[in-house]
Structure 1
Amino acid sequence: MKGLEKFEPDTYYHLVNHAVGTENLFRTDENYHYFLRRYAHYIPSVCSTLCYCLMPNHIHFLIKTNSEEALKKHPKFKNDYHKLIMQQISNLLNAYAKAYNKKYERKGALWIDYTKRFKIKSENYLTATINYIHQNPIKHGFTQNLEAWQHSSFHSHTSEKPTLLSRIEVLDWFGGINEYVKFHSQNTAGLRDEWE
């Protein structure tokens, strides 16, 4: 089924999740920072992260699952790569929702029931996905300028600050920082609706 591909080792995926109804996932800058800290706790043990974008009501990540050998060494591995990775994603979302509900004195689900996952099957698709994820705040009207949105990996790729992102892999993919920035500035059209 589209958007529900099973996770396999050593494979790229575009992940998308959304708040339930008209809720917001993030109300303050601290909410965004806290989510990324939780992400750094749960996710690197099962995959590397190429890029991301957090918006008030939904999130996008481009990940590459770890190798078969690395996943088998995970302390929670039980002969099913997909279940292991899904469990770590679920742990992340649940941990964030629990903290969010406590902080804002709310009850009930925060995220929709499943995280969509799209397997990246070509080099062009990978390039388009990185650009799409970074351009998403413009598409949804949260900003008019990609560089003005502080809650994506766009700036992290051009920074020299330490990061958990696969920065070098992404920049090499585009041919360096200048080409990375140039590609994003010249490719603002064709933001595909099918991933929403």
Structure 2
Amino acid sequence: MDMTNSVGAARAAFASEKRCADAAARSCGCGKPIGPKNQTGYCRSCCARAKFHAPGVRERRLESIRRNFADPAYRAAHAERLRIASSTPKAIAARRQRGREQYRDVLSRPDVLARTQSPDARQKRGASITEARLGWCPADRREEYRVLIMTKKIPAAEARRIIEAEIAGTLEHGRREIASNELAARLRHERQQREAY
């Protein structure tokens, strides 16, 4: 019985040495060993890199992504998956931690603070926000829009319609011109009828 066990152990040891020798003989170009059944000759990361840089792969992948996102149902399902994944307590805690690290490592540095809190930077940021929110309104009409909203307390949608009615070429301006012309024609017609009697 001892003889059988020692023969089995010797065979196992020989097979193990052979596998080690084969694995040492088979390695990727980066130096990582690859298994005996590996057919590509690359380790996992080198294989992924080679596939990514293969001609046509990137184009096929982008075309597939574009085709999927052209479907509204797929896009809605994808947005829902992202919303669910990003609203888990673990994801929220991770975002909060990344924000703290970003502030600690980057945003609180004196050079960054000097660059982002300077009067020029604040003015540029304010102009950018104004352009994003009031891009529809010409620069010479923005103060008038602010007066309508802040001083006269007119709702933003109504104030926008009032301003757009003053801007030539907009739909509201066209509607206002048509209404004005209709009113003038009606008044003219009424005046002519009064003068006829």
TM-score (normalizing by structure 2): 0.21
Structure showing greater radius of gyration is 2
Q: Looking at secondary structure, tell me which structure has more strand per residue.
A: 1
Question: Higher helix proportion, which one?
Answer: 2
Higher relative contact order (CA 8 A, sep 6+): 1
